[in-house]
């Protein structure tokens, strides 16, 4: 498979994935932050995408739009589902329609929360979706809207993402390591921690290589629990991982139930000729070696 150059637009460019996408795609990529574009405004989206397409029309490469914008407050969505729906379903539909209008391919990022979270083997792209939270329902609606509006679009599900920008689990554990002698972390939820930079590289490869459109899964490979993830963070910080104590989900009830099992199979990704993302533990070491100061704040 021969990769082609890209003419890229990144929506949600101020977040952790959007920031890394811009870094991976290079200076020719254009980024739009939340302040630059209200993605829930269809007319504004069409205008912004149209202006970008006009500006890059004479440049070489495939036209690709990366949607890294989303409502990510999982608990908050339980009491603000309409607002979450606007960001996670209505906005992607606007982007898909606008992308089709200018001949660009949309790469839309989704989540493991579209599944019930009760599996015992990694979810395939065609596994039954059954979201159990408002966040998951709105993200599934976004997937469906994108695929209905654009036959050329990609929907990429990922999970447990952390990076240098914004708040995330790694930064929380680094803070708690400084503040507490011991930390209790749930040990009955399994998933695949995913470094946003690795994910960004994978999304860029997807757009450049342009396999068949549709749904894909992309996470760092392997799996662990949140407790195992936290202990790995402590190891990277030079702290004793035994200071992280396992507990159950029942010990930390949340407004939105977390999936007990969030591992996503990347079989379809690899079958499309795309390189698997690195193992999660090696990725965490690489993240600390690359952006460790930002993760320790």
Q: Domain extents for the chain?
A: 6-167+193-221+262-278
pLDDT of residue 44: 98
Which pLDDT score is estimated for 3? 65
- Give the pLDDT score at 297: 87
Give pLDDT tens digits for 45-67. 999 999 999 999 999 999 999 99
Return the sign of the alpha-carbon dihedral for residues 160, 284, 237, 243: positive
CB 208 within 8 A of CB 4: yes
Question: What local confidence, expressed as pLDDT, does residue 161 receive?
Answer: 98
Please state which of the four CATH numbers 3.40.50.620, 3.40.50.1370, 3.40.50.720, 3.40.50.1100 is assigned to the domain occupying 6-167+193-221+262-278: 3.40.50.720
Mean pLDDT by 10 residues, the chain (297 residues): 80 97 95 97 98 95 96 96 98 98 98 97 98 98 98 98 96 98 98 98 97 98 98 98 97 93 97 98 98 95
Q: Which residues are catalytic?
A: 135
The confidence score (pLDDT) of residue 98 equals 98
Confidence at residue 5, expressed as pLDDT on a 0 to 100 scale: 78
Torsion, Cα of 220, 236, 18, 153 (10° steps): 0
CA distance linking residue 156 with residue 153, whole number of Å:
10
Q: SS3 string of the chain?
A: CCCCCEEEEEECCCCHHHHHHHHHHCCCCEEECCCCCCCCCHHHHHHHHHHHHHHCCCCCCEEEEEECCCCCCCCHHHCCHHHHHHHHHHHHHHHHHHHHHHCCEEEEEEEHHHCCCCCCCCECCCCCCCCCCHHHHHHHHHHHHHHHHCCCCEEEEECCEECCCCCCHHHHHHHHHHHCCCEEEECCCEECCEEHHHHHHHHHHHHHHCCCCEEEECCCECCEEHHHHHHHHHHHCCCCHHHEEEECHHHCCCCCCCCCECCECCHHHHHCCCCCCCEHHHHHHHHHHHHHHHHCC
pLDDT at 53: 97
């Amino acid at each position: 498979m021969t990769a082609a150059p890209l003419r890229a637009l990144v929506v949600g460019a101020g977040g952790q994935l959007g920031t890394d996408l811009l870094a991976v795609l290079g200076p020719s990529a254009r980024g739009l932050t939340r302040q630059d574009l209200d993605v829930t405004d269809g007319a504004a989206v069409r205008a912004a995408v149209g202006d970008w397409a006009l500006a890059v029309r004479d440049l070489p490469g495939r036209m690709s739009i990366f949607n890294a914008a989303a409502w990510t407050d999982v608990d908050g969505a339980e009491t603000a589902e309409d607002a979450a729906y606007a960001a996670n379903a209505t906005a992607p539909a606007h982007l898909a329609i606008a992308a089709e209008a200018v001949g660009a391919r949309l790469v839309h990022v989704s989540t493991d929360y579209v599944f019930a979270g009760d599996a015992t083997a990694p979810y395939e792209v065609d596994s039954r979706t059954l979201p159990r939270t408002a966040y998951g329902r709105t993200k599934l609606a976004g997937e469906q809207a994108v695929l209905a509006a654009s036959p050329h679009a990609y929907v990429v599900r990922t999970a447990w993402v952390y990076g240098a920008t914004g708040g995330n689990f790694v930064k929380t554990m680094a803070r708690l390591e400084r503040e507490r002698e011991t930390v209790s972390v749930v040990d009955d939820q399994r998933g695949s921690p995913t470094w946003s930079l690795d994910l960004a590289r994978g999304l860029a490869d997807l757009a450049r290589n342009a396999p068949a459109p549709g749904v894909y899964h992309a996470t760092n490979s392997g799996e662990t629990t949140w407790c195992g993830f936290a202990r790995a963070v402590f190891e990277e910080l030079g702290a004793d991982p035994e200071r992280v104590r396992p507990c159950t989900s029942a010990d930390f009830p949340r407004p939105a139930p977390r999936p007990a099992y969030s591992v996503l199979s990347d079989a379809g990704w690899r079958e499309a000729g795309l390189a698997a993302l690195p193992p999660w533990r090696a990725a965490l070491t690489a993240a600390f070696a690359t952006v460790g100061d930002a993760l320790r704040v």
